[in-house]
Structure 1
Amino acid sequence: MTVHVVTDSTSDIDHARATQLGITIVPLIVDFSGQTYRDGVDMDNHTFYQRLATAAQMPKTSTPDVGTFRDTYEQVIKDGATGIVSVHISGALSGTLNAATLAANQLTEDRQRARQPAVPIRLIDSRTVSAGFGYPVILAAERARNGDSLDAVGDYVQRLADSSKTYFLLDTLEYLQKGGRISAIQAGVGAMLSIKPILGIRDGIVVSLERVRTRSKALARMGELVAAGNVESLALAASDDGAAEDLLKVVRPVYDGHIEQFRLGAVIGTYAGPHAAGLFVIPKH
Structure 2
Amino acid sequence: MAVRIVTDSTADLPKERATALGISVVPLKVIFGSEEYLDGVNLDTEGFFKKLAESKDFPRTSQPTPADFLATYQRLIEEGAEAILSVHLSAKFSGTYQSACAARAALPAELQHIPIEVVDSESISLGIGMSVMHAAEEAQRGDDLAAIKARLIDRLRRTRILGVLDSLEHLRRGGRIGRASAFLGTMLSFKPIIGIQAGEVVPIERPRTRAKAYERVAQLFQEAGPVEEVVIVESSDELGEQLAAAMQTVHPQPIPRYKLGAVLGTHTGPGTVGIIFITAH
TM interval, shorter chain, is over 0.9
Q: What's the counterpart of residue 245 of structure 1? A: 241
Q: Secondary structure at the match of 1:247?
A: helix
Q: Secondary structure at the match of 1:51?
A: helix
Does the CA contact (< 8 Å) of 2:158 and 2:280 recur in 1?
no
Q: Does 1:235 align with 2:231?
A: yes
Q: Secondary structure at the match of 1:189?
A: coil
Cα separation, partners in 2 of 1:59 and 1:197, compared to 1, 3 Å: same
Q: Distance in 2 between matches of 1:195 and 1:13?
A: 30
Q: 2:166 aligns with which of 158, 168, 171?
A: 171
Does the CA contact (< 8 Å) of 1:143 and 1:153 recur in 2?
yes
Does the CA contact (< 8 Å) of 1:3 and 1:82 recur in 2?
yes
Does the CA contact (< 8 Å) of 1:3 and 1:150 recur in 2?
yes
Q: What's the counterpart of residue 143 of structure 1? A: 138
Q: What's the counterpart of residue 214 of structure 1? A: 209
Q: Distance in 1 between matches of 2:78 and 2:136?
A: 19
Which moved further from structure 2: 150-159 or 180-189? 180-189
Q: 1:278 aligns with which of 244, 268, 274?
A: 274
Q: Does 1:265 align with 2:265?
A: no
Q: Distance in 1 between matches of 2:138 and 2:97?
A: 23
Q: How many Å apart are 1:257 and its aligned residue?
A: 4.4
1:272 aligned partner, one-letter code: T
Does the CA contact (< 8 Å) of 2:93 and 2:176 recur in 1?
no
Q: Does 1:37 align with 2:33?
A: no
Q: How many Å apart are 1:215 and its aligned residue?
A: 1.2
**Percent of matched pairs sharing the same residue:** 40
Unmatched runs of 5 consecutive residues or more in structure 2: none
Q: Distance in 1 between matches of 2:112 and 2:195?
A: 42
Does the CA contact (< 8 Å) of 1:127 and 1:162 recur in 2?
no
TM-score calculated relative to the size of structure 1: 0.93
Q: Does 1:106 align with 2:101?
A: no
Cα separation, partners in 2 of 1:158 and 1:185, compared to 1, 3 Å: closer
TM-score calculated relative to the size of structure 2: 0.94
Q: Distance in 2 between matches of 1:40 and 1:235?
A: 19
2:209 aligned partner, one-letter code: T
Q: What's the counterpart of residue 92 of structure 2? A: 92
Unmatched runs of 5 consecutive residues or more in structure 1: none
Q: Secondary structure at the match of 1:10?
A: helix
Aligned pair count?
A: 278
Listed one character per residue, the Cα deviations across residues 10-44 of structure 1 (whole Å, up to 9, x for unaligned) are: 00001110000000000001111111111000122
Cα separation, partners in 2 of 1:185 and 1:150, compared to 1, 3 Å: closer
Q: Distance in 1 between matches of 2:176 and 2:94?
A: 13
Does the CA contact (< 8 Å) of 1:242 and 1:275 recur in 2?
no
